[in-house]
Amino acid sequence: MIKYATGQFAPFQADSNHKLIVVFKRLPANCFRSPSTINKNQINVSGANTTNYIAMTQVTFYLLKNQPISPEQFACRLIDKAWRSRLHIHIHTANEPSCEYMDHLLWSWREYSFLPHGMINGSQQQYPITLGFDRPTLEQKQLLINLNPEVPDFFQDFSRVCEVVVEGQKAISRAKFLAYRQVGAEPEVHNILLPLKA
């Protein structure tokens, strides 16, 4: 079982009302992967023996099966839970229109919820939640939620990456999965089966 230096998402659970529950847990600082299968560009961990241990980006796929919600709506749930866990989140979209759509969705997806966020265009911005469609310039690079059909070449700048895919997009999902594996990542896959309420 592969463990990571920076923590991991626990699998999704649902309560009796099929509402989403996400648990964030921390792993010990000495949980690292061997560098033999890791891309040379990944960041060395300070302390201990950096010859033998390298920090690893965690990649998690959430596969929506028979869900009445879109990947963007499901991403809002992830963002809400991650923000409440005090993580800095960046949402990467395919282009400006999709970025603007996600911006609107974050404002309106729940009547009484507020998620502090802002759109960026490669420049430094101080928001706990950011959106963009180019390589971001951020001080905090904790969680990347990728809503782009392609894997961004900067994903290794982040501690964690979440991919939200639907069952009918097998070609896109397979291509992404293989792209992560080619650079040494071992994605986790969580199947979301129960119908989730808003």
* Domain residue limits, the chain: 57-192
pLDDT score recorded for residue 124: 57
pLDDT score recorded for residue 108: 83
Q: Rounded to whole angstroms, how far apart are CA atoms 178 and 176?
A: 5
pLDDT score recorded for residue 133: 94
pLDDT score recorded for residue 109: 73
Mean pLDDT, 10 residues at a time, the chain of 198 residues: 36 45 40 36 39 70 88 93 93 95 87 81 73 88 95 94 90 94 93 71
H helices within 21-95, ranges in order?
71-84
Q: Rounded to whole angstroms, how far apart are CA atoms 51 and 145?
A: 30
Q: What is the pLDDT of residues 19-75, one digit of tens each?
A: 444 444 443 333 333 333 334 344 333 343 434 435 689 999 999 988 788 999 999
pLDDT score recorded for residue 144: 97
Domain with residues 57-192, CATH architecture: 3-Layer(aba) Sandwich (3.40)
Contact present, 103 and 119 (Cβ < 8 Å): yes
User: pTM here?
Assistant: 0.71
pLDDT score recorded for residue 127: 84
SS3 per-residue string spanning 99-113: HHHHHHHHHHCCCCC
pLDDT score recorded for residue 125: 62
DSSP at 66: S
Sign of CA dihedral 156, 172, 89, 33: negative
